Chain A
Amino acid sequence: MSILDIIMNILAIGVPFSVALLLAALGEMFNQRAGVFNLGCEGIMSMGAFLAFLPPFFLKTGALAPWANLLGFAGAAAAGAVLGLLFALVTVSFRAPQGIAGIGLQMLGWGAAGTLFRHYVGGVTGIGGVPPLPIPFLSQIPFFGPVLFNHNIVAYLAFLAVPASWYVLFKTPWGLKVRAAGTHPRAADTMGIKVTRVRYQALALGGAMAGLAGAYLSLCQAKMFADDIVAGRGSIAVALVYFGRWHPAWILSGALLFSLAQALQLSIQVLGIKFPYEFAVMLPYALVIAVLAFSRRSRLRGPAELGKPYDRETRI
């Protein structure tokens, strides 16, 4: 294998790996832009991954079988939105501290997915999953074809979500409200913006996207479900939002960085380089810490009121 092949291989594995991170991090970006830090992302992804796995697991044949994957994604998104709203109830309406509440949601999501999985499925079972959809002609281009144009439909859509998120955040009235709610909620309130409603909406959207990210893991990436399928990707997604300074383009680059680290890690094992595999598995997590340590955060452009509940009647 030539060096170029190895690089192409790493990229071709790494690019689809970034999809789940990307979807979850874009969702988390909306949460944080609206002022809410949702560490429950990990738990929501677990639930999403499990629920999405159910339709293709049960509907192997029958009239609905062709729609099973789509049903899975829809169910994961809906459940994610519901869990996002639960988190909104706790942190926005009840004004609970967001860090600990996020841990609570994380445990709830893990536990629920694990319990339901044991009961309905029992053990590790594979599913067909979403097939790749090579784009005609483009996928034939040497090097770029396998890297960029030989993935499943969800991956393409996820990459389109980057400019779409940018447009929503910076060019639509709702994005304007979200940014105002996270930076200066009191100002937004005096201008007639319903801060609570905006935060609920952002958390529902963020939750739905985390649900989809989980669904991607079970339907497109692993093509199965396991308790630890998410393996910290939810928390990494949260870290990516800091790293990406709450901007979709930077978040995309962060997601690619991590998934390439993961692909590299896999290649190291596949190539049989003598290296304890535990250290390879650590790599992405250690990278998160390094990136958090060396990325300078500018609150000037980010959501200044991140993590602080808003109460109109509490006087300043």
Chain B
Amino acid sequence: MPSTKRIESLRLEGITKRFPGVLACDDISLEVGAGEVLALVGENGAGKTTLMNILMGLYQPDYGRIVINGEEARFRGPSDAFAAGIGMVHQHFMLVPNMTVTENVALGLKELHHPFHLDLASARRRIAEVSERHQLAVNPEAYVWQLSVGEQQRVELVKTLCFGARFLILDEPTSALTPQETDELIERLKRMTAELSVIFISHKLGEVKALCDRVTILRQGRVAFNGRTQDHTSGDLAALMTGHEVNLPRNACVEACGEQRLKVSALMVRGDRGNLALNGLDLELRSGEILGIAGVSGNGQRELADALAGLRKVESGSIGLCGEEIANRRPRAIIDAGMGYIPEDRHTEGIVPSFSIKENLVLKDFASQRFSTASFLRLERIDENAEELRERFDIRASSTATSAGSLSGGNIQKVILARELARGPKVLVAVYPTRGLDMGAEEFIHAQLLERRAEGVAILLISEELEELMNLSDRIAVIYKGRISKVLEAPEATRRRLGMLMAGLADE
């Protein structure tokens, strides 16, 4: 049983950690007192998660130390951190999907591990205690793969508290939640500070101001700012986070819409578990329009995108691209019909990582007349194309012969964007196009999307960032349980209204 001594103060001193080619944490120091909520803010890649993984003993720092209650602590692994009373809820949930909630909790409770017997009864008891005390209802016998994202997050909290955490690290806990669930989580955390200290990692400054007393901002692995949240506006904090004023471009919303480009009706598609992930979905997209798809992940976004690209079987319904029926056509035919696609997982779906940048830039067109004659590749044209696109899309790489997988996330996304946009698509499907990118890259991608819109491309934007959807879309469609529950014109789409719809509540 871990000690129950309160953590009066926790300090990180001079933490430095290097990964190949990146200094992830460069001499970072910070401090959290009892019952305090510290916001740790920074762009993607600023070093927040690495720093917290060091605090959990998952990574060893190259230099620096951790001091708890004035004494230096050495964590060789997560077990040491648990023993000291520190627990973390990771952004990607750390739950084993094919085990039950109880088994997941028991996995980390070493005192229940007897040589030939696993004490699941005690684990169950512990879960009941914790979920009662913190009003976190969970079903201990459910398999994790059966649970929704919100439920999994509750299980993560229960699990961490069962391990005896009195110091909680939450890594981007709201990224998959609806606005209402987010509010609920923030209220719950406020109540919990009676017994706990919290480090709250986020890049959503609204949430930070609602919950946290103090904020530490990281930029490129260094502490850029440390202060009280109430003394600064969100705008100030954003500027500190990126190092410069960021003005994400917005859709001016002049009616620009032309003829219908994409028409989806009564679409039925099965998910990986055989359930009907899309259950009669309808939508319509016109030229020169950005249609945003808002929704909690797992409501059919992935299946919709796959079906549009021809990568998933359509059970029934139709997809019309400029009047041509493309449901259940081969991906190649859909690409040739004018579909552009920015896939969700850029590292494995968007590029072939071991291929060079120039090869990736012709991944869809290498067999066209431009890049081949009589099935032989025209290497000089492929080179020219790469140089031209590198210039136009500001792809930062020493040479177009380097492997695309070695690029940063932002540059990989630029390679994909360059390839897709250079093809002159009629419809562009963009799935979470800025997920995990820094603000600079985000700005570039947003500007590109708006430019294409002005040129008359019809864009379907699937995103989980309400901000992004509200900035860019002409209309926002809310997807819930495999159907479009409501389509809102941009001006009437408020956070609150979208949140209600995303949670499946009736629109007022």
Contact = CB atoms under 8 A, between A and B. Distances in A.
A and B bound? yes
Interface of A: 171-173, 175-177, 179-180, 183-184, 186-194, 300-302, 304, 312-313, 315-316
B317 interface: no
Given A173-B113, A173-B114, A192-B82, A184 B97 contact: yes
A313 B117 contact: no
A313 B19 contact: yes
A176 B77 contact: no
Given A188-B107, A191-B107, A179 B96 contact: yes
A241 to B, nearest CB: 16
B56 interface: yes
Interface residues of B, number: 35
B112 interface: yes
Interface string B395-417: 00000000000000000000000
B40 to A, nearest CB: 17
B225 interface: no
Contact of A184 (B58, B95, B113): B95
Given A172-B117, A315-B19, 17 more contacts: A171-B117, A175-B118, A176-B106, A177-B107, A183-B96, A184-B96, A186-B92, A187-B94, A187-B95, A188-B107, A189-B58, A190-B88, A193-B108, A194-B77, A300-B97, A300-B145, A315-B50
Contacts of B114: 173
Given A172-B117, A173-B113, A191 B94 contact: yes
Contact of B98 (A171, A173, A301): A301
A173 B99 contact: no
Contacts of A192: 77-79, 82, 108, 110
A304 B98 contact: yes
B103 interface: yes
Given A171-B117, A312-B58, A316-B92, A302 B78 contact: no
Contacts of B59: 312-313
Nearest to B112: A173
Interface in B83-128: 88, 90, 92-99, 103-104, 106-108, 110, 112-118
Contacts of A172: 115-118
A194 B80 CA distance: 13
B133 interface: no
B232 interface: no
B98 A191 contact: no
Contacts of A302: 98
8 contacts: A171-B117, A176-B106, A184-B96, A190-B88, A191-B94, A300-B97, A300-B98, A304-B98
